[in-house]
């Protein structure tokens, strides 16, 4: 039986929610990742160090006792964020970044930033104190085609941010386009990007061909095949600017299979298996360890993990749902076969 052993990886973009959903999904992440950057877009959003530390404790309580997992907390950047809060975040060993959501760009982003120029003093403070900015890179202009919103953000805002704050560390989250990949490749060493499993495995036909597939709907939306190929090339290139970030986003099945279904793919149940499939298709399994285990830690200036995980080349079927007592979360590739399995 073929096996693949790599240094234990980290997830540099993860949603785990709270309450019963958190209790359901946290074991999936903790069994395969040593650490994860936790997204702050709860209701209400996590905007202060005190809130983040409280949320961290809730997450730790949801980690099974036989697993060792460290949540890396982030704060939600708003127009009301203060320089003083940035200083507090820098002084906390548990806060690792601020997240910029353009207002209305995705799930629970209503409290996001409406005027990016207005937060320039905050970006200056982040640059000065050397704490990373994580960016959901999409414009929210209704006149902009949904498939062009990432490209427009790169052209309209990201180019200016990286020019005006050349020392600011920036992660362009869940890149989906040729243009975003090229931007990151051409930028300085302080600009990086995460790539999700769904954007490596699927093009936009997966959402629409043969009927609407709501569990493939996420934001930024999956793009055409040429963009998927560019993402695969970047992820498997060995370029340390690109690293693993699942953007795993658990939603109740009833909210996905809805007349106005919400955005987000739940992939934490089989994250490494999905990435392994994408890398194997590209004949690049030898590049998976750097992408999954090394480059993100290096960018965040954290030590690389020392343990390992092993995957076996064996076929298994993804369950139709996860959850108990009426809670139902439909995972990516529900009822479908995967060809790798975490031991």
Residues labelled catalytic? 247
Q: What share of the chain is helix, strand, coil (3-state, %, to 5)?
A: 40, 20, 45
Q: Is 117 annotated as a binding residue?
A: no
Q: Is 321 annotated as a binding residue?
A: no
Q: Is 251 annotated as a binding residue?
A: yes
CB-based contact 25:1 (threshold 8 Å): no
Q: Is 216 annotated as a binding residue?
A: no
| Rg for the chain, CA atoms, rounded | 19
Q: Is 215 annotated as a binding residue?
A: no
Q: Is 75 annotated as a binding residue?
A: no
Neighbours of 223 (CB within 10 A): 21
Q: Is 247 annotated as a binding residue?
A: yes
Which residue reads 């040729």 in tokens?
178
Q: Is 129 annotated as a binding residue?
A: no
Q: Is 199 annotated as a binding residue?
A: no
CB-based contact 247:194 (threshold 8 Å): yes
Q: Is 184 annotated as a binding residue?
A: no
Please report, for residues 23, 95, 245, 296, the alpha-carbon distance to residue 280 in angstroms, rounded to integers and kept in the order given: 32, 35, 18, 21
Q: Is 113 annotated as a binding residue?
A: no
List beta partners, residue 87: none
The DSSP annotation for 196-263 comes to: -HHHHH--THHHHTTS--GGG--SSPP--HHHHHHHHHHHTTT-TTEEE---B----HHHHSSTTPPP
**Annotation: binding site for Zn(2+):** 13, 15, 99, 136, 174, 247
**Annotation: binding site for substrate:** 15-17, 41, 136, 219, 251, 263
**Annotation: binding site:** 13, 15-17, 41, 99, 136, 174, 219, 247, 251, 263
């Amino acid at each position: 039986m073929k096996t693949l052993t790599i240094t234990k990886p980290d997830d540099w973009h993860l949603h785990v929610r709270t309450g019963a959903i958190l209790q359901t999904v946290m074991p999936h992440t903790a069994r395969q990742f040593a650490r994860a950057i936790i997204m702050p877009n709860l209701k209400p959003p996590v905007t202060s160090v005190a809130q983040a530390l409280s949320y961290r404790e809730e997450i730790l309580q949801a980690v099974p006792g036989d697993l060792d997992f460290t949540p890396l907390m982030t704060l939600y950047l708003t127009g009301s964020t203060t320089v003083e809060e940035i200083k507090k975040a820098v002084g906390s060993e548990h806060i690792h970044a601020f997240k910029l959501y353009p207002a209305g760009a995705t799930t629970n982003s209503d409290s996001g930033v409406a005027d990016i120029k207005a937060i320039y003093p905050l970006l200056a403070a982040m640059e000065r104190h050397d704490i990373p900015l994580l960016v959901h890179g999409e414009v929210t202009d209704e006149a902009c085609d949904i498939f062009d919103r990432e490209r427009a953000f790169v052209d309209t805002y990201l180019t200016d941010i990286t020019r005006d704050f050349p020392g600011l560390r920036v992660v362009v989250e869940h890149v989906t386009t040729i243009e975003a990949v090229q931007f990151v490749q051409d930028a300085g060493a302080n600009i990086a990007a995460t790539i999700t499993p769904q954007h490596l495995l699927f093009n936009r036909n997966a959402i629409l061909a043969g009927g609407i597939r709501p569990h493939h709907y996420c934001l930024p939306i999956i793009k055409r095949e040429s963009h998927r190929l560019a993402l695969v090339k970047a992820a498997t290139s060995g370029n340390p600017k690109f690293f693993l970030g699942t953007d795993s986003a658990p939603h109740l099945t009833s909210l996905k299979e809805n007349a106005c279904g919400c955005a987000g793919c739940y992939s934490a149940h089989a994250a490494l298996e999905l990435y392994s499939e994408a890398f194997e298709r590209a004949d690049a399994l030898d590049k998976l360890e750097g992408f999954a285990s090394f480059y993100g830690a290096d960018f965040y200036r954290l030590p690389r993990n020392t343990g390992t995980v092993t995957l076996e080349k064996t076929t298994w079927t993804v369950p139709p749902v996860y959850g108990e007592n009426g809670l139902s979360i439909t995972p990516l590739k529900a009822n479908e076969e995967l060809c790798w399995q975490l031991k």
